[in-house]
A = this chain, B = another copy of it.
Amino acid sequence: MADVARRAGVSMATASRALSNHPHVAAATRARVLAAAEQLSYVVSPEASRLAGGATGRVAVVVPHISRWFFATLLEGIESVLRDADLDVLLYHVGDAADRRDFFQRLPARRKADAVVVLGMPVRDGERERLETMGVHIVAAGGQVEAYPYVSIDDASAARQAVDHLLFLNHRRIGMIATVDPAEPHWPANPGRSRAYDEALADAGLPADPSLVVTVPWGSLHGADAMARLLSLREPPTAVYAHSDEVAFGAVRTLRRAGLRIPEDMSVVGIDDHPMAELADLTTVAQPVRDQGVLAGRMLLSLLAGETATTGVTVPTRLVVRGSTAPPRR
């Protein structure tokens, strides 16, 4: 490698990066290095180049929330795989918009990690460009990030399972409690989970009624408020589909306080199969959260081993029928 670098007139680091197809090496430089390598019959071993390139043995995991069940469970899944592979996890929390700007501006993980995992958050174009300047593999889990290999559920299909269940039970007036991320309140409510509701109603020949859709920040207490708004309608729904179980728990509290019975007076369905959903006897669409972290970790190990990435893995969701849904009485 030293001979190659000398002959090409570049540093060892540049020669190494050029030979390992590292992005962000100028084309002319790369050509000069490759020519020198050919003249010297230098053989590139991916394993050796990884070692020579100074693999850090660390993976940066970027999360928008740590204490929320979904994100913590994804993190637990990915940590288990990386630990088994003797890779260390560097944890970066990008909470609110300011944190986030700062993270993508400073890129604190740069040169400290062999790869980046983005957990449960969309990545905007400008952010993507910044991430890519790190020149390492990037994988997403718990959300479709089209630009990178990802592991995710199909949000639209999960939502469709929830709403189709209510339609099958013969509900015709179905409310939706949609959620936005409190840290990013100006982003649209989960588009897949909202769109599927519109489509399912349209497919069933039901009119769209905007008064049946309430959008709130994520969280159980907001779910309670949203349910109160639906109960304040002249003609409330007979069933409610919530974007997540945690929001559905809040809706259930409001119904109980109002003296309404579940499912006799109102059906409620969520998405996730949160650990409390079984306890609350909540019908929901289950997603395998820990598994998404595990699969993303394995995907990352393949990439680090030089294998070609699949573009994305969609894990299946399934309806779990419990006691919170039944046909409408009226």
Contacts and interface: CB of A to CB of B under 8 A. Distances in A.
Residue picked from A112, A276, A279, A281, most chain B C-beta under 10 Å: A279
A118 to B, nearest CB: 16
A76 B67 contact: yes
A65 B275 CA distance: 15
Given A90-B90, A91-B91, A93-B79, A67 B279 contact: no
Nearest to A75: B66
A66 B294 CA distance: 14
Tallying the copies of this chain within the complex gives 2
B91 A220 contact: no
A42 interface: no
A93 B88 CA distance: 11
Given A66-B76, A276-B220, A276-B276, A89 B90 contact: yes
Residue picked from A66, A79, A109, A112, most chain B C-beta under 10 Å: A66
A92 B65 CA distance: 18
B88 A112 contact: yes
A24 to B, nearest CB: 23
Interface string A196-224: 00000000000000000000000011001
Contact of A83 (B93, B220, B249): B93
A253 interface: yes
A276 B249 contact: yes
A201 to B, nearest CB: 29
Nearest to A94: B83
A221 B91 contact: no
Contacts of A91: 61, 75, 79, 89-91
A226 to B, nearest CB: 13
Interface in A51-89: 58, 61, 65-69, 72-73, 75-76, 79-80, 83, 86, 88-89
Contacts of A89: 90-92
A3 to B, nearest CB: 32
A108 interface: yes
B112 A290 contact: no
A73 B67 CA distance: 5
A250 interface: yes
Contact of A69 (B69, B93, B109): B69
A221 B108 contact: no
A278 interface: yes
B108 A80 contact: no
10 contacts: A61-B91, A67-B72, A67-B73, A67-B76, A69-B72, A80-B93, A80-B95, A90-B90, A220-B276, A221-B279
Interface of A: 58, 61, 65-69, 72-73, 75-76, 79-80, 83, 86, 88-93, 95, 108-109, 112, 220-221, 224, 249-250, 253, 275-276, 278-281, 290
